[in-house]
Structure 1
């Protein structure tokens, strides 16, 4: 898929796997720092650190901008449509769609990331018509590699994606899940 594909819906709510993935709202701004201002998230993700109230406002605004551009969806992970427990991302990519996720430290160990990835992958296959969904993860991020395996992804035999972010080098492995 390319950036010429149609835009995303103005509002999205996806339910499945005991979760409701929904749009971020103004009411979530106060909860976002608790979810994202953590050393693990600062280290493994491109999310800004420190993550404070102004960062929350910028993230909400950026999520809305990326949605309007038709490139990326950022959704709050919830169990019932209420309090956010983390975030799942879908970005259009040459391979089809790329997913990403972050779960707040207080909410880890409940399978939220695995379930959110499965729901978002199903959306990509069914609604966007992609043939493959990918995750790009650092091999040393054992928690994210475990999410990939549990969600049914396989490590692809493609070159590492190398770069530098937040002053540290990284090398990302690409994991793939194909439409069944």
Structure 2
């Protein structure tokens, strides 16, 4: 991240991260059909605020919102790929405001690509970026305790459960309680 002329932190003009056998890259218009294939999934619909069904129109709206939130310095959404081309999921860096350097991360992997540790590997790469490029001492995850797959990803990426208060949220009208997991820079 860099500072703009007001001193607020902003994202670099282009982000492409590599490591763990992955290439994390910006979404493009060419990815719209792949987005619909990845995100139109009952598991993703249950645990995330993504639209369901996630069709071509939802993909266009999502990409437009992603670009606006990136320009606003609030979210960085990168496609998870193994070859730099075919998106297999997404990793997100999330800020609540441009004045607060604290970030949380999020991730999702399409059903056809699960079971290959893509989320844990992408999480390690993005965590390294947050610690060593941005310079953040801590990054967090908010995970529903019942989301066993996401808890397993957090463990695999060396995150630890914190004793921070539970976070109540409403996702598509359904109440969830999130636990905070953290990774501290060593």
Q: TM-score, normalised by structure 1?
A: 0.95
Change in CA separation of 1:50 and 1:19 when aligned onto 2, cut-off 3 Å: same
- Whole-Å Cα distance in 2 between the matches of residues 163 and 151 of structure 1? 24
- Whole-Å Cα distance in 2 between the matches of residues 4 and 147 of structure 1? 35
Long gaps (5+) in structure 1: none
Counterpart of 1:90 in structure 2 is 93
What do residues 118-173 of structure 1 show as CA deviations (whole Å, max 9, x unaligned)? 00011111121111010000000000000000100000001110021201110000
Answer with 88-97 or 11-20: which moved more.
88-97
Counterpart of 1:49 in structure 2 is 52
Between the two proteins, the alignment pairs up a number of residues equal to: 179
What do residues 14-56 of structure 1 show as CA deviations (whole Å, max 9, x unaligned)? 0000000000001100111110001000000111111000100
SS in 1 for 2:128: helix
Counterpart of 1:36 in structure 2 is 39
1:60: Cα distance to partner?
0.8
1:125 to 2:128 alignment: no
1:4: Cα distance to partner?
5.6
Q: TM-score, normalised by structure 2?
A: 0.92
Mapped contact 2:9–2:101 kept (Cα < 8 A): no
Over aligned residues, Cα RMSD in angstroms?
A: 1.6
- Whole-Å Cα distance in 2 between the matches of residues 118 and 5 of structure 1? 26
> Which residue of 108, 117, 130 corresponds with 1:111?
117
Mapped contact 2:166–2:179 kept (Cα < 8 A): yes
SS in 1 for 2:183: strand
SS in 2 for 1:169: strand
Answer with 63-72 or 15-24: which moved more.
63-72
- Whole-Å Cα distance in 1 between the matches of residues 181 and 101 of structure 2? 11
Counterpart of 1:12 in structure 2 is 15
Mapped contact 1:114–1:147 kept (Cα < 8 A): yes
SS in 2 for 1:10: coil
